[in-house]
Structure 1
Amino acid sequence: MTKAPIKLLMAASGTGGHLFPAIALAQQLPDYQIEWLGVPNRLETRLVPKEYKLHTISVEGFQKGFGFSSLFTLGKLAGSVLDVRKLLKAGNFQGVITTGGYIAGPSTIAARSLGLPVILHESNAFPGKVTRVFAPWCTSVALGFNVAAQYLPKAKTVYLGTPVRPEFRQPEIGASLDLPVPEGAPLIVVFGGSQGAVAINKLVRQSAPAWFDAGAYIVHLTGDNDPEAESLQHEKYISLPFYDNMAALLQRANLAISRSGAGSLTELAVCGTPAILIPYPYAAEDHQTYNAQVFTSVDAGLMFKQSDLTAESLQNEVLKLLCSPLELKTMGEKASSIAIPDSAEKMAKLVRSLVGK
């Protein structure tokens, strides 16, 4: 008789920073039967590949501290724990993998109440609240940045980096850049993560004319929430809401201007792309600043607070870098030095050692 495949529930929801590492890991476990746990109307309903069956629960976090409304949130949490527990039992799952966020709470509680192993991946340099609470409950906590271990003293942590999709590690899979950017022309890539960044978009459009004069092309990924996304027109300017082939784009870029979400930083590091980092000022517990500091600590990028940045200062910083190709090259090499390109394979090895031995 053929042995049934090991069943895993992948609990990953919300932003690309949670979803892309989970998808990259799932691709390294083709012999496992993987089903997905998410939240209705979030990014996973579009990003999760069709071969993964998607289950959804209703859950949210304590964004505004504990108060009367928190009783309602607690009630939803309790209900979602029961829902996940029923799902795990009915589906005969043998383990849970989660990439943090709200969905990690009920997933971890439900799995551990059934004696199932839980592997949590924390991609940020400063772990989120859910990770800090539930990490000690987990069988293992894999870290995207080694500095995160100091905030999780009671957890069983292992530094493995953050998984990225195969095209980031193997340029031939990413293929060539299918955009009208001349070979050899300086290329600036601007992106704000999976949700875009309107404030950065505005600064870039104001700064762009000076960069065009310096010979640079700009590929600007604006997201889909920018009402002025089409306001700048220029032969050296390509504006898109999103771009699927980010691997080829970052491998071609001479410089990136970016938020500092963990997923974005991981992709920049693996591609060896020097960057100007502008942490999202409203990120939970300012975790994007902690992420950016990992880059700046090894001179792999420059960090600026959004509140301190003007169009003129951004314009001048970029012009200085464009005039210093050796500095850009060194920054890119420093970025590569903190990358773990085979993180997905290392994560898959961890999963195999803990689930279905």
Structure 2
Amino acid sequence: MSSSPKRILIACGGTGGHLFPGIAVAEALLEQGHEPLLLISQKKIDAQASAKYPHLKFHTVAAIAKPGTLSPKMLPFLLALIQSIRSSKKLIREFGAQAVLGMGGFTSLPPVYAGHSLGLKTFIHDSNARPGRANVLTSRFCNKVFIGLEPAAGFFHKPTQLTGTPARPEILHLPSRAEAAKNFGLDPDKTTLVVTGGSQGALGLNQLIAKASPMLPENIQILHIAGPNDYERIKQENPSQRPGYHLMGFCDQMPSAYALADLVVTRSGASTLTEIALASLPSILVPYPYAADDHQTANAKVFSDAGAARLIQQKDLTPESLAKLLTDLLTNPGALKLMANAAKSLAIPDAATRVTSALLAEI
């Protein structure tokens, strides 16, 4: 391995679960004197996130989503895939990339394949306990696979390395509880439940929380981040909420939300779990029921098996049973402390550095 600066192409667009870990790796490379270029999609989330990192270089490409195998859209998809591979090769040559790292999903396949066909070292990172099919396919063209959770190793036929999932740097430096409470107009001295459903498929979870919240003890406050898609509906369905219930559509201050939380209720996407582990937070995990290959349940199981979380399927919850579970936990500081310690034991704070070190060692 040469110590001279390297140029690394990172394909990370399409979802926050791919984008933020990619940004974290880029930050680590930049700190070490290397030059990363982040390949992102034209989606709004990518544009919003990239605007916050003016010191990083981004390149936008058209997002490609794979249709069903027998779908009539398969032919246009394959043509778009071929075009994307060609444009990826052109970009790799122009940038002078020496390695390509994909952070997951079908947006990673064209640049990784292009890098492989040009003779570069190529890598894929998978955050989930049960990897997506796109990553298993992409891994065929990789020298090494970086994994966020140990159970993923068994799904790949290439060398794997447990690195953890890189988190955006601000998650590693949370504000004080008092400062965090001020950001939301909440009381720092009150026990706080934070609910983050996210934007994908969280309506059922959001409705359960909204209906359960009036049944919680009055001294518990709730920060409910419903996601932009569900905010208005939840607001209309529950117009007269209890005091101390703060409903938001979107939160761009997640470090503050984590700093204030005594317990988190959330889906079990890999990036969310990475962040709550880093913040040492106990959680109730309600996997998204329609996730591909039910990978969210596999993720949640890693945390529940470690004692860091309670895993409950959405179909098994009612507002009443959820309110009872929340009350039992939020009024039991000892149980919360044990769960918090277990969450901390699952955290890998230096995941971004682990990825960059492993990648650079191969070049």
1:132-161 CA-partner distances (Å, limit 9, x unpaired): 112132122111001100111x21100010
Cα shift at 1:103: 0.9
Partner of 2:204: 199
Q: May I ask how many residue pairs the two structures share in their alignment?
A: 351
One-letter amino acid matched to 1:140: K
- Relative to structure 1, the CA distance from residue 173 to residue 350 in structure 2 (aligned partners, 3 Å threshold; closer, same or farther) is farther
Unaligned runs of 5+ in 2: none
Identity %: 35
Partner of 2:271: 263
1:348 to 322, 339, 356: 356
Cα shift at 1:17: 0.8
| In structure 1, distance between residues paired with 2:341 and 2:282 | 8
Give me the TM-score of the superposition, normalised by structure 2: 0.91
Is 1:123 aligned to residue 131 of structure 2? no
| In structure 2, distance between residues paired with 1:328 and 1:205 | 22
| In structure 2, distance between residues paired with 1:310 and 1:342 | 39
Segments ≥4 residues shifted beyond 6 Å: none
| In structure 2, distance between residues paired with 1:342 and 1:78 | 36
Q: Per the alignment, in what secondary structure is the counterpart of residue 50 of structure 1?
A: coil
What's the C-alpha RMSD, in Å, of the aligned pairs? 2.1
| In structure 2, distance between residues paired with 1:175 and 1:341 | 24
1:222-262 CA-partner distances (Å, limit 9, x unpaired): 11111324344443011222222322321331111100000
| In structure 2, distance between residues paired with 1:138 and 1:175 | 46
Deviates more, 1:173-182 or 1:215-224: 173-182
Deviates more, 1:293-302 or 1:43-52: 43-52
Is 1:251 aligned to residue 253 of structure 2? no
Deviates more, 1:136-145 or 1:123-132: 136-145
Partner of 1:100: 104
| In structure 2, distance between residues paired with 1:172 and 1:280 | 29
Cα shift at 1:112: 0.5
Partner of 1:37: 39
Partner of 1:22: 22
1:220 to 196, 221, 224: 224
Is 1:238 aligned to residue 240 of structure 2? no
Partner of 2:327: 319
- Relative to structure 1, the CA distance from residue 263 to residue 194 in structure 2 (aligned partners, 3 Å threshold; closer, same or farther) is farther
Deviates more, 1:125-134 or 1:240-249: 240-249
Is 1:11 aligned to residue 11 of structure 2? yes
Q: Per the alignment, in what secondary structure is the counterpart of residue 230 of structure 1?
A: helix
1:72-129 CA-partner distances (Å, limit 9, x unpaired): 2111111111110111112212111111101111111100011111121100100111
Cα shift at 1:350: 1.8
| In structure 1, distance between residues paired with 2:286 and 2:178 | 29
One-letter amino acid matched to 2:280: G
| In structure 1, distance between residues paired with 2:290 and 2:152 | 20
CA contact (8 A) 1:62 1:70 kept: yes
| In structure 2, distance between residues paired with 1:29 and 1:174 | 31
Deviates more, 1:215-224 or 1:23-32: 23-32
Unaligned runs of 5+ in 1: none
Partner of 1:286: 294
Partner of 2:162: 159
Q: Per the alignment, in what secondary structure is the counterpart of residue 214 of structure 2?
A: helix
Give me the TM-score of the superposition, normalised by structure 1: 0.92
| In structure 2, distance between residues paired with 1:112 and 1:126 | 24
| In structure 2, distance between residues paired with 1:204 and 1:165 | 27
CA contact (8 A) 2:213 2:242 kept: no
- Relative to structure 1, the CA distance from residue 347 to residue 278 in structure 2 (aligned partners, 3 Å threshold; closer, same or farther) is same
Is 1:146 aligned to residue 150 of structure 2? yes
Cα shift at 1:313: 1.4
CA contact (8 A) 1:169 1:341 kept: yes
| In structure 1, distance between residues paired with 2:250 and 2:288 | 18
- Relative to structure 1, the CA distance from residue 116 to residue 340 in structure 2 (aligned partners, 3 Å threshold; closer, same or farther) is same
